[in-house]
Structure 1
Amino acid sequence: MFSITKKSSRQREILEIVFSNGWDYMRGLLVGDKPEEPRLPSPDVLRNILIELGPVYVKLGQLLSTRPDLLPGRYVDALTDLQANVPAVAWGDIETQLRQQFSQPLDQIFSRIETEAVAAASIGQIHRATLKNGEEVALKVQRPGISIIVEQDIKLIKSLADLVAITDWGEDYDIVAIAEEFTSALKAELDFTSEAEYTDKLRQNLSKTRWFDPAKLIIPKVYWEFTTPNLLVLEWLDGVPLLLSEPSKKQTNEDDPRRGEITSLLFRAFFQQIYLDGFFHADPHPGNLFYLNDGRVAILDCGMVGRLDPRTQQILTEMLLAVVDIDARRCAQLTLELAESSESVQLGRLTNDYDSMLRRYYNLSLAEINFSQVFYEILQISRNNKIRLPSNMGLYAKTLANLEGVTRSFNPEVNLLNEIKPLMTELFRNQLLGNNPLETLLRTALDLKSLSLRSPSQIEMFLDRVTSETLKWNIIIPELTSLKNSLNDAANRLSFSIVLGSLIMGAAMISTGAKTPQLSLISNILFAAASLVGLWLLVSVLRSGNLR
């Protein structure tokens, strides 16, 4: 729990940064006020706060930028290219870190290491080196002491999540679980062997394909013999970011047809990862897509990946088709199929929201539709209807947005749908038959055989039960329970009303003909009983709230 009276030096630093940027909601949390509904600062202010808080929070902001299912699009855009203003660690400290990773001297492994960092980030920095056998490699070295900083800040992030969890928003989005997910991702960033495994898997998946020429696309090779949790050694690739490459400077495809070839290559490579492999590079921003000196395209920095199971792949494919067909009802149904939590969702309202969104695309050609923006709007509709989607939906939408953004900047004439049309047939074939069509057909044949063998006996049993009148239907309709209770209440009140009327009439008759004190006493008792029953009935009706 944060408190202004009990704070560490790190908490004090966070307070100062928050106060200086004027984020009143977070200020209240940090000084122990009762949490209210979360109120984010403007995207630029949030970005500045994260930069000032340091490398761990910059990394947290980068992770948040992959969750458009949680944040509006303008926040995602502001955090997408978030980079900490982190100076490179001095070579002496990096050299010490490198020596700790090897059991032999560095000069026996490398013939040369450039002491000036090629790039510096929040978790590590990159140096170029040459192995003894002459191969050029990139050394991604973890910043010394970063693990201690990460552990400290993770505790603070979890404390803030516990506070926000008290609010309705925190409960709806299970903010504690989200914080746990983010902190686990931060910890995973500290183990470079995970990134090495992801890199290897993507390299293997894309090395054999019928969708594009794998010789034109490359993912750097991992040198496992030198890689450790604190050091990642990769093949060095000479090139420049795609948007700075020579083809991107041309104005039309006629000037340089390579632009069209490169955008088709990227779309096919990423759609294979998403819709066929179910394992995809989730951060294709301009700095991770390189145009190499030999004309190939490289995908770098494979530390962030997404995963999709076959069912989700199929739903997303159908969602794409539903958007193209402007089918609001189908979009709503598919959203509910994807949802992790969709309690008390009104299908009619959800369908109307989709109809309002899709209506804006009625008069647009497919070339004019920004599909990544469409998926951002789908996530916004889910948020508005308190539908919690799996976290991989955020990665999916963010990957599409980055990919479409980069390719449109590189090649303004690109159209996502035109790029994937040739792939749709194989995509549907794969979703119907799987990676091994023969195995799928054999399994289907066995299921049909089993069904054909069981069907006659099951039909015979069904007909016997129908003719012998022993068939019972167990139908449960939730709304009938409330209807039954309402009818029972109405019947009970009607019965009491009849009894009440009878008591009053009996008492009146006895009172009229009463000639003895005993009859007068009975009449008074009946009137008293009728009054009590009437009073009870009146109170019951008033308490039910159904007095009309």
Structure 2
Amino acid sequence: MFSLTQTSSRQREIIEIVFSNGWDYMRGLLTGRKTDEPQIPRPEVLRKILVELGPFYVKLGQLLSTRPDLLPPSYIEALTALQANVPPVPWDEIEFLIRQQLQQPLEDVFSEINPVPVAAGSIGQIHKATLKDGRQAALKVQRPGIDKIVAQDSTLIKAIAELVALTEFGQNYDIVNLADEFTKTVKSELDFRQEGLFTEQLDRNLAKSPWFDPEELVIPDIYWEISTEKLLAIEWLDGTALLQADITLPAGEIAPRTRRQAITTLLFRAFFQQIYIDGFFHADPHPGNIFYLKDGRIALIDCGMVGRLDPRTQQLLTEMLLAIVDLDAQRCSQLTLELSEAGEAVNLVRLKNDYDRLLRKYYNLNLSELNFSEIFYAILQVARNNKIKLPGNLGLYAKSLANLEGVARKFNPDINVFEEVKPLITDLFRRQLIGDNPIPTLLRTALDFKSIYLKTPRQLEVLLEGLTSENLQWNLNLKELSSVRRSMDDSANRLSFSVVVGSLIIGAAIISSGAQSQQLSLISNVLFAVASFLGLWLVISILRSGLK
């Protein structure tokens, strides 16, 4: 039991931080006393608690910020701000770890390393370096000892999750599996080679595109010869974050406003390809991860967090985009159920009414004014309210779209998101209908029609023979038929019971009217008593069934 009576020093530290920030629900949970309905602290308080708990919990907060299917937008926004709140590790500790990883003198590998970090995160920090051959690199170095902290705190997180799982809140959100998923994700990120593989996969996917010129988009190279589990050497790209970039261009080139529009279009097309065609996408396109390079190209960096979508989910999400544009509440409801994981029965009427209320806000808006990320967040809220469990990758999908749209609107205030999305949706439906190569699709379709053409006459002949010979049999399997059958059986039983009671009363009356002996009068009274008792039981049974 996780309580004050038996705690490690780390547990006591967690409890003290929770106490000092006034999270009453978690205080009761940790001390083993009875708790009220689960209450999450205010977004700012939750962020403060995670920062005080240390790098592992900061990383958990960052992962939670990618799950708008679990948390409202205010929490997502607060947790996203955790990106820049981690102090760097002193250089002497970083240098020692680099020497350990390379197993050779730094002077043999680098001509220069800047001891001042360019950026610091919850798992690692970045230092600029120049290799002996002149190439410049961004060295991502893991925080010393973070692997031990992750192992220790993962155990505590799972213990807390098991306590929360005893509540209705914990059961609704499957807290134990959620905690297990998050801790596994953090542990996997401790192997920097995984980020290198993700980066190369994105590079291969975006090296060709039907929607944009791949030469305009840059994914950094990985220098594998000096990369290890705790050290990743990435190509250094000269540029600045997109929102801080100066887009003014020399005379004779594209005007800055036109250039901004071209960059916006490039970003939308690059991310729509990742999401809807490749099914493998950069899941963290916040402003700091989109660079404007000195040569005018756009670069995507920090590819450690990616999302994956299978072809079926891609198709359903494409249809969801179209349903949003059409403001079709009925279709949104159907698609939400198709996207959902197996769970409890859903009130379809309530779900459609929730979508009606949601989409009604946009009925009088011009399509150019639609905020797609806001609508997707609202859709996830509708799913939460109806206790519909959506796959976790949909949270990454929604967060990625929200970040992309947010960056695009700040970078190019004149953007018309619908005009950017419309041709892509059209092409996506075309691809889903006929594929990238229409000839094999048409040939398969022709073969299917041929099969139907050849089989249909024989099947019609069998059907007609069955009808004329009166031997036709139908095998029907109707959902919920068992409940209807039980209801009909109950009704038939009550009707039969009523007939029996009525017969007893009539028989008793006949015997009573013609009774000439004490024995017949006794039989008549007994029949009346039995009939009265059974009749009373029948009335009570009917009344009770009507109250259910």
TM-score for both structures, normalised by structure 2: 0.94
* Structure 1 equivalent of residue 57 of structure 2: 57
Q: Distance in 1 between matches of 2:484 and 2:111?
A: 84
Residues 433 and 36 (structure 1), Cα distance of their counterparts in 2 relative to 1, 3 Å cut:
farther
Retained in 2: the 8 A contact 1:51–1:83? Answer: no
Q: What is the letter of the counterpart of residue 362 of structure 1? A: Y
CA RMSD in angstroms, aligned pairs only: 2.1
Q: Could you say which residue in structure 2 is the equivalent of 1:420?
A: 421
Q: Distance in 1 between matches of 2:413 and 2:357?
A: 28
Contact conserved, 1:189 with 1:303, CA < 8 A, in 2?
yes
Q: Which amino acid aligns with 1:154?
A: S
Q: Which amino acid aligns with 2:174?
A: D
The structure-2 alpha-carbon separation of the partners of 1:531 and 1:60, relative to structure 1 and needing over 3 Å to count, comes to same
Deviation at 1:436, TM superposition (A): 4.1
Inter-partner Cα distance in structure 1 for 2:266 and 2:510: 99
Match of 2:533 in 1: 535
Aligned equivalent of 2:40: 40
TM-score (norm 1): 0.94
Structure 1 residue 447 displacement after superposition: 3.1
**Aligned residues of 1:336 and 1:342 also touching (Cα < 8 A):** no
Deviation at 1:533, TM superposition (A): 4.2
Aligned to 1:474, what secondary structure does the other structure show? coil
- 2:15 counterpart residue number: 15
Amino acid in structure 1 at the alignment position of 2:345: S
Q: Which moved more, 1:498-507 or 1:89-98?
A: 498-507
Structure 2, unaligned runs of 5 or more = none
Change in Cα spacing, 1:33 to 1:543, as seen in structure 2 (3 Å) is farther
> Relative to structure 1, is the Cα distance of residues 446 and 177 closer, same or farther in structure 2, using a 3 angstrom cutoff?
farther
Query: 1:169-208 alignment to 2 at 5 Å?
Result: 169-208=169-208
User: Where does residue 264 of structure 1 map in the other structure?
Assistant: 265
Measured against aligned partners, the alpha-carbon deviations of 1:468-509 in whole angstroms (never above 9, x if no partner) come to 222222334445544443343333333333333333343344
Tell me if the contact between 1:248 and 1:410 (Cα under 8 Å) persists in the aligned partners: no
Q: How does 1:202-221 map to 2 (within 5 A)?
A: 202-221=202-221
Q: How many angstroms does 1:164 deviate by?
A: 1.6
Partner of 2:112: 112
Count of equivalent residues: 542
- Please name the residue that 1:504 is paired with: 505
Mapped to 1, the partners of 2:191 and 2:338 lie a distance apart of 35
User: 8 Å contact 2:505–2:531 — kept in the other structure?
Assistant: no
CA separation in 2, counterparts of 1:413 and 1:215? 25
Q: Name the structure 1 match of 2:337.
A: 336
Matched residue of 1:3: which SS? Answer: coil
Select between 34-43 and 266-275 the one with higher mean Cα deviation: 34-43
Alpha-carbon separation, structure 2, partners of 1:500 and 1:424? 69
CA contact (8 A) 2:129 2:139 kept: yes
Q: In the superposition, relative to structure 1, how do residues 428 and 316 fare at CA in structure 2: closer, same or farther (>3 Å)?
A: same
**Partner Cα distance (1:107, 1:230) in 2:** 19
Q: Which amino acid aligns with 1:59?
A: K
Residue 452 of structure 1 aligns with which residue?
453
Change (3 A) 1:497 1:447: closer
Superposed counterparts of 1:19-30, under 5 Å: 19-30=19-30
Q: Which amino acid aligns with 1:244?
A: Q
Instruction: Note if contact 2:504-2:531 (Cα within 8 Å) is conserved in structure 1.
Output: no
Deviation at 1:409? 0.8
Q: Higher mean Cα deviation, 296-305 or 164-173?
A: 164-173
Residue 26 of structure 2 aligns with an amino acid whose one-letter code is M
SS at match of 2:129: strand
Give, in whole Å, the separation in 2 of the partners of 1:514 and 1:422: 94
Between stretches 107-116 and 377-386, larger displacement belongs to 107-116
Give the Å deviation of 1:195: 0.6
Provide the secondary structure at the position in 2 that maps to 1:81.
helix
Q: Which runs of 5+ in 1 are unaligned?
A: none
Query: SS of the residue aligned with 1:138?
Result: strand
Give the fraction of aligned pairs with identical amino acids, expressed as a percent.
62
2:282 touches 2:306 (CA, 8 Å); kept in 1? yes
Q: What letter is aligned with 1:119?
A: A
Distance 1:507 1:160 in 2: 70
Whole-angstrom distance in 1 between the partners of 2:145 and 2:268 = 39
**Hey, what's the Cα distance between the residues in 2 that align with 1:475 and 1:333?**
25
Cα deviation for residue 123 of structure 1 reads 0.5
Between the aligned partners of 1:421 and 1:512, the Cα distance in structure 2 is 88
Does the 8 Å CA contact 1:508/1:523 hold for their aligned counterparts?
no
Q: Residue 92 of structure 1 corresponds to which residue in structure 2?
A: 92
Q: CA deviation at 1:415?
A: 1.8
Which residue does the alignment assign to 1:149? 149
Equivalent residue letter for 1:441:
L
From the superposition, tell whether residues 194 and 537 of structure 1 become closer, same or farther in structure 2 (CA, over 3 Å): farther
The letter of the residue matching 1:50 is L
- 1:89–1:143 CA contact under 8 A, matched in 2: yes
Q: Is the 8 A contact 2:164 2:175 kept in 1?
A: yes
- CA distance in 2 between counterparts of 1:222 and 1:537 reads 85
* d(CA) in 2 for partners of 1:514, 1:533: 18
Partner Cα distance (1:266, 1:506) in 2 = 89
Moved over 4 A (4+): none
1:311-322 mapped onto 2 (5 Å cutoff)? 311-322=312-323
Distance 1:232 1:297 in 2: 22
Name the CA distance, whole Å, in 2 between partners of 1:424 and 1:482.
Answer: 43
